[in-house]
Amino acid sequence: MRAQAEGIDVPVDSSISAIPDAAARRLTQYLHVLQGLSGAERSRLSSSDLAEAAGVNSAILRKDLSHIGAGGVRGVGYDVSALAGKIAMALGLARSRNVALAGAGSLGRAIAEHPEIGHRGFAIVAVFDASPSRAGDVMSGSAGPLPVRPISEIATRCPGLSVEIGVIATDDAVAQDVCDKFVAAGIGLILNFTGTTLHAPDEVEVRPVDLALELQVLAVSGSRHAAERATRNAADETTDNNATGAEPKVSTKS
Amino acid sequence: MRAQAEGIDVPVDSSISAIPDAAARRLTQYLHVLQGLSGAERSRLSSSDLAEAAGVNSAILRKDLSHIGAGGVRGVGYDVSALAGKIAMALGLARSRNVALAGAGSLGRAIAEHPEIGHRGFAIVAVFDASPSRAGDVMSGSAGPLPVRPISEIATRCPGLSVEIGVIATDDAVAQDVCDKFVAAGIGLILNFTGTTLHAPDEVEVRPVDLALELQVLAVSGSRHAAERATRNAADETTDNNATGAEPKVSTKS
DNA sequence: AGGTGTGAACGTATTCACAGCA
DNA sequence: TGCTGTGAATACGTTCACACCT
């Protein structure tokens, strides 16, 4: 099963399909920033303002907004609430989506209690766990308390709950098993927080989010910076005692 | 790929920075897959095998491995343990890095208890939290029990612990404050799990990992697939529209 | 003026195809 | 023979610059 060997473009005429992936990622961020601003008095803002707030280049922001019908007014800018609505519409986030969560450990609990998830159009409607000791526990999700069920009940409960997204936050060992059960239950979108590389049919989209991997990537980026200044052993102290962040780049050595 | 703010950085003479960013991300994944395989009997494997396991194209895998001195044997493949060592070496993951964690809530606890983090060269050596009620709690990290300290102690404790990476898993409201304190303490690598866009000096690398955002991106990608079969959304495909108070659906939640 | 929208230039990442070696 | 390593070709994403609207 070749994961992404399908190079031929599939003609999907939906307006959503026009958004180039990377832009969609930023659009969700713009939306989040806009929602934070909608309470403020600013009812309009320019692309540069929004770009500043989101931490991106203003040019790419306008390009991103152009993919959706951004309705910006030339010489003025964008209306905050209207733009937020447009983005949410274009991204298909206008309606709420039901989510099933697998894994009632600390990670699963963190996801269920995550303050943003419930406010961005997602509702966790079921929690499953492989451990019998956890079955029967009640987790406090954003949409109310949720009983923890054994994962064997994924097949029976998910279809009735109109679950669209499955989140896997279990131990690595059972991740593939849970994935298979989600797929069997008709779930087409899976968010995988485990370190396991999941295998699923082509029509199922699996998105990995490995927390440890993010740490590693960060560490690698740091090594790159460290390598710039000195090719020596980078295993040393960082014990500078500059109270303020003056911290000049150490370019001496050698 | 600076986080935010363009800046006039004249970065790197690129004498060493051979690894092209995106490749580094995949290399960490290859490393993880290899570590999972090193227990198995397979002592060698080909690029296509590894590509299959990691879910990527074999061509790009070989390209990635070529960036480091991947010592593969033509006609045979790669030696599992040797390759894992090479990747870890090239990525600078050979040594352990000390991590400070801010946020002792459910998300912080999930990170501290994450099984992979302790096994991939990271040691959480300090935990901070803004809430006084949590100060004094003890969290079970991968490197032993850890007392939760108030965030005001970041400045005093981090330097003595050789902390290289700061992880922010607090509430959004205090994220920037914690970030500032980490920066002041000389930490140059920050992993941000909050939804806040953090601002930090250029020499500090801030990597955002927003869990809710990952869910949204997944939902958007899913809309693309779902557009083929038309679930029940009935999204209009007319790209036109006037922005005259068209009823913004996004509500500013509580 | 002030700021959006967008074609064109640019840089980066991925894929292809094949040379070279065990 | 088979698989690695890598230059060339291609696709993609970002930045630039400016036309165009208010």
Q: DSSP letters along B176-215, please?
A: HHHHHHHHHTT--EEEE-SSS-----TTSEEEE--HHHHH
User: How many A/B residue pairs have CB atoms within 8 Å?
Assistant: 298
Q: pLDDT tens string for chain A (254 positions)?
A: 333 333 333 444 444 557 888 999 999 999 989 988 876 667 889 999 999 999 899 999 999 999 998 888 999 999 999 999 999 988 888 889 999 999 999 999 999 999 888 888 899 999 999 999 998 889 887 778 999 999 999 999 999 999 999 999 999 999 999 999 999 999 999 999 998 889 898 889 898 888 888 888 888 877 766 665 543 333 344 333 333 333 333 333 32
Q: How far is CA A64 from the centre of its chain?
A: 18
| Contact call for A16 and B223, based on CB within 8 A | yes
Interatomic CA–C1' length for residue B60 and nucleotide D11, angstroms:
14
Number of C-beta neighbours around residue A59 at 10 A: 11
Q: Please report the beta strands in chain A, taking only residues with DSSP state E, as ranges in sequence order.
A: 44-45, 78-79, 97-102, 122-129, 138-141, 144-150, 163-168, 189-192, 205-208
Q: What does the alpha-carbon distance between residue A89 and residue B252 come to, in Å, rounded to a whole number?
A: 15
- Which nucleotides along chain C are within 7 A of a protein C-beta? 1-7, 12-17, 20-22
Interatomic CA–C1' length for residue B206 and nucleotide D22, angstroms:
39
Residues of B in contact with A110 (CB under 8 A): 105-107, 109-110
pTM over cut 0.85: no
Asked if strand C contacts A233 at the CB level, meaning under 7 A, the answer is no
Interatomic CA–C1' length for residue A227 and nucleotide D3, angstroms:
33
Nearest to A215 among B95, B165, B252 (CB): B165
* pLDDT of the residue at A224: 67
Q: What does the alpha-carbon distance between residue A29 and residue A62 come to, in Å, rounded to a whole number?
A: 14
The whole-angstrom distance between A220's CA and the closest CA on chain B is: 6
* pLDDT of the residue at A12: 40
* pLDDT of the residue at B182: 98
User: What is the rounded (10 degree) CA torsion for B60, B64, B66, B71?
Assistant: -110
End-to-end CA distance of chain B: 34
Element (H, E) at B89: helix B80-90
Q: Which of A19, A26, A163, A220 has the highest number of chain B CBs within 10 A, making it the mutation to test binding with B?
A: A220
Closest residue to C14 (CA to C1') is: B60
User: In this complex, is the C-beta atom of A162 within 8 Å of any C-beta atom belonging to chain B?
Assistant: no
Residues of A in contact with B15 (CB under 8 A): 231
Residue in chain B lying closest to A53 (CA): B197
Nucleotide with C1' nearest the B73 CA? D4
User: In this complex, is the C-beta atom of A248 within 8 Å of any C-beta atom belonging to chain B?
Assistant: no
* pLDDT of the residue at B8: 37
User: In this complex, is the C-beta atom of B39 within 8 Å of any C-beta atom belonging to chain A?
Assistant: no
User: In this complex, is the C-beta atom of A205 within 8 Å of any C-beta atom belonging to chain B?
Assistant: yes
* pLDDT of the residue at A84: 92
* pLDDT of the residue at A227: 60
Q: Which residues of chain B have pLDDT under 70?
A: 1-18, 40-41, 224-254
Interatomic CA–C1' length for residue B59 and nucleotide D8, angstroms:
14
Closest residue to D14 (CA to C1') is: A60
* pLDDT of the residue at B37: 81
Asked if strand C contacts A82 at the CB level, meaning under 7 A, the answer is no
Residues of A in contact with B243 (CB under 8 A): 71, 79, 82, 86
Q: What does the alpha-carbon distance between residue A213 and residue A210 come to, in Å, rounded to a whole number?
A: 5
User: In this complex, is the C-beta atom of B14 within 8 Å of any C-beta atom belonging to chain A?
Assistant: no
Closest residue to D2 (CA to C1') is: B75
Find residues whose C-beta atom lies within 7 angstroms of strand D. Answer: A 20-23, 56-57, 59-60, 62-63, 73-76; B 6, 46-48, 58-59, 62-63, 65-66, 70-78
User: In this complex, is the C-beta atom of A37 within 8 Å of any C-beta atom belonging to chain B?
Assistant: no
Nearest to B218 among A12, A172, A207 (CB): A207
* pLDDT of the residue at A62: 96
* pLDDT of the residue at A17: 56
Q: What does the alpha-carbon distance between residue A15 and residue B54 come to, in Å, rounded to a whole number?
A: 32
Closest residue to D3 (CA to C1') is: B75
CA distances to A19, A21, A99, B90 from B55, in Å: 24, 19, 25, 22
CA distances to A27, A52, A201 from A198, in Å: 27, 37, 10
| Contact call for B223 and A114, based on CB within 8 A | no
Residue in chain A lying closest to B224 (CA): A17
Residues of B in contact with A189 (CB under 8 A): 218-219, 221-222
**Strand bridging mode A78-79 / A44-45:** antiparallel
